[in-house]
Amino acid sequence: MTSRTPADDGPARTFSIGGEFVVPRIGFGAMRLPAGPPAERDGAIAVARRAVALGVGLIDTAHLYGWGANEELLAEALHPYPDGLLVTTKVGVVRTEGPEGWAHDAGPSSLRVQVERGLRRLRTERIGLLQLHRVDPKVPVAEQVGALHELRLEGKIGHIGLSEVTVEQLAEARRTAEIASVQNRYNLMDRGYEPVLEACEAAGIAFLPWRPVAAATPGRAAELAAVAAELGATTPQLLLAWLLARSPVLVPIPGTASLAHLAQNVAAAGFRLSRAQLDRLEALAAPAEA
């Protein structure tokens, strides 16, 4: 009896987040959409609307992205939101006057204020998926997640997600509330959060990799281009297709302000990698020998 591999019948095309939102597995990261000046804003609105027209079911934003301007842009472009569209945002980071320009702030009272403001900017009464942008080292994880759980019980949050967490932090959070998603950095060349992905896969938690497409060294880039050429794909499409094959819980959220790149990203879901191609990509991801 042979075991099933990701390439046998192709990766699943959708994933159910929190048991409520069934979304196609190529999402859209809105971080790169400019909120101004007017000409650029009009283009950004066009990209957001085109993403929905192409079938994207999950759009990711955050308070950090323009300190609310990105959320307001999406509301202008997409409200009233069509059925089946999940717009997810993030809180827990606030603007400061210091050199970094931001700071952790995930105390319970602050999270409540941030969520209320996010609801207003997004023009909604319920945020389907609310993610903690960063775990605040000054506040126990249970208090941060507990505050979001209270907001969920009040109907202001549908589901709770986390971002840039370790296996231990994920486990601690799950002792306080149900966690529907994790958003950590992950791609073929940067797999430091592999243990977190495995924990998400075991628990059926969505893993939204940010920076899903990353540059490779020249030698590896040439091999990536060769595999992409075999598929009739671009290298970014190949890297997105690899993520879809890597684990059924991965929902990449590539971002762009280009209509052409958006269409290419969405089309990446249609490529199927052979076992031999997957093996070649795995070899590229292995650490180089000294």
Q: Determine contact, residues 41/72, Cβ cutoff 8 Å.
A: no
* Cα 193 from Cα 38, distance rounded (Å): 39
What are the tokens at 208? 């939204």
Q: Which is catalytic among the residues 65, 81, 186, 193? A: 65
Look up tokens 């320009």; give the residue: 101
Q: Determine contact, residues 170/161, Cβ cutoff 8 Å.
A: no
Q: Which of 252, 227, 222 is nearest to 238 (CA)?
A: 227
Residue 65 catalytic?
A: yes
Q: Which of 240, 286, 243 is nearest to 267 (CA)?
A: 240
List, in order, residues 6 or more apart from 178 with CB less than 8 Å away.
18, 159, 160
The neighbour count for residue 289, using CB atoms within 10 Å, is 4
Q: Which of 196, 289, 274 is nearest to 241 (CA)?
A: 274
> Which residues are part of the catalytic machinery?
65
